[in-house]
Structure 1
Amino acid sequence: MLVLGHGAGGDVDAPDLEAVTAAVVPFGVTVARVTQPYRVAGRRAPAPAGHLDEAWVDVVRSLAPAGPLVLGGRSSGARVACRTAAELGAVGVVALAFPTHPPGKPERLRVDELPLDRPTLVVNGDRDPFGVPPVVGMVQLHVVPGADHSLKKAVEPVAGFVLSFLRANGWAT
């Protein structure tokens, strides 16, 4: 099962999340796209990180995946997936448009949120104002030329990277 979360201002219908879903389902991967409670309540601004993580953990546990669990998401959802991977026993992480730092604040790095102890796929655009993370731990990094934080112009390559990552690790047929 691949569980995907959305970005801070977006929803689960983001083009990259939809493309990933369409690409991996035919290969035996069950996908659950999770909407955070603040969005369900109609708010645009995300809750504090601790609240996001708590809600995510509750939802993922309620899904009770039978096989290997891969967590993922885009932007803020990628950060949540990374921070909760160990607690939820995820075998891997998919981080799309991982926000390495807030825009214009490269000194406030978030690289310590990337898991070091499990396969992690990071896909970022080279024009992302949130930066591109370095390769650390077991991170496999793909930087898409010409793509920004939305990855809207790169949905096909993004979906291909995710499918290849899942297949290489034996989590997709």
Structure 2
Amino acid sequence: MHSEIVETAAGEARITWHPAKDAHLVLALSHGAGGGIEARDLAALAAALPPRGVTVALVEQPWRVAGKKVAPAPKTLDTGWRDLWPALERPGLPVVAGGRSAGARVACRTAAELGACAVLALSFPLHPPGRPEKSRAEELLEAGVPVLVVQGGNDPFGRPAEFPDGAYELVEVESGDHGLSVPKRADISQEQALEIVTEAVAKWLDGVRQHSSQDHGVR
């Protein structure tokens, strides 16, 4: 594991690399508006995926690196992500854009223009809590690349049943909240919840890699 600072128009971003020995894919993951790369799902993926040939790059947006507590507007988040994207690219390796919550929205909004081969959306904030009329479904539906949504069954920002039909996949973490945390009374443990996340993502990434290899000749 190692980190690097990347200059962007929004300030200094930081990428923490969890490299795979024989990588066939790069998965870039950013955090949400209320936390950092220490989020349990991001940490679990960074631990589980490198042994399976996926290099994980955990991305801290400039506002987080600067120690600010409040995320800037979506336009500024997109600027930081666009500017650091070249640092995520590796010769011959497709890159999957992703993140949790606000980071998932950034990935969806920018994936097609940046050349991401797919998007991993962890806890996609379909709407603000209690405000289903303020839907952000358009960002998800218009990503322009294959998308996997991993959503908690009790996420106040959008439960799985609220998501519209579309050309994306969705995996539910039973009883999970927006942080994919499950209560002690749930039928599954927190460890089992994270295993659902890592196994679903690993399986989906295998399909993404095969598709990218066929389209672009990646081996």
TM-score range, shorter chain: over 0.9
Query: Can you give the 5+ residue segments of structure 1 that lack an aligned partner in the other structure?
Result: none
Q: Is the 8 A contact 1:3 1:60 kept in 2?
A: no
Residue identity opposite 1:97 in structure 2? S
Corresponding residue for residue 125 of structure 1 = 152
Q: Is the 8 A contact 1:95 1:121 kept in 2?
A: yes
For the residue of structure 2 that corresponds to 1:147, the secondary structure is coil
Aligned: 1:74 with 2:100: yes
CA RMSD of aligned residues (A): 1.7
Q: CA deviation at 1:101?
A: 0.1
* Correspondent of 2:176 among 147, 150, 153: 147
Give the TM-score normalised by structure 2: 0.74
Deviates more, 1:109-118 or 1:155-164: 109-118
Q: How do residues 67-106 of structure 1 correspond to structure 2 at under 5 angstroms? A: 67-106=93-132
For the residue of structure 2 that corresponds to 1:90, the secondary structure is coil
Q: CA deviation at 1:65?
A: 2.6
Give the TM-score normalised by structure 1: 0.93
**In the aligned structure 2, how far is the partner of 1:116 from the partner of 1:12?**
23
Q: CA deviation at 1:116?
A: 4.8
C-alpha offsets along residues 66-125 of structure 1, whole Å, 9 cap, x if unaligned? 211100011011111111101111110000000000011100000111145321000101
Q: Is the 8 A contact 1:53 1:80 kept in 2?
A: yes
C-alpha offsets along residues 104-162 of structure 1, whole Å, 9 cap, x if unaligned? 1100000111145321000101100001333412x101112111110133221111111
Say which one has the larger Rg: 2
For the residue of structure 2 that corresponds to 1:99, the secondary structure is coil
**In the aligned structure 2, how far is the partner of 1:73 from the partner of 1:12?**
9
**In the aligned structure 2, how far is the partner of 1:65 from the partner of 1:128?**
35
Choose between structure 1 and 2: higher strand proportion: 2
**In the aligned structure 2, how far is the partner of 1:25 from the partner of 1:62?**
18
Determine what percentage of the aligned residue pairs are the same residue: 49
RCO higher in 1 or 2 (8 Å CA, sep ≥ 6)? Answer: 1
For the residue of structure 2 that corresponds to 1:164, the secondary structure is helix
* Correspondent of 2:207 among 163, 168, 173: 168
* Correspondent of 2:34 among 3, 6, 9: 9
Q: Is the 8 A contact 1:91 1:119 kept in 2?
A: yes
Corresponding residue for residue 136 of structure 1 = 166
**In the aligned structure 2, how far is the partner of 1:64 from the partner of 1:147?**
32
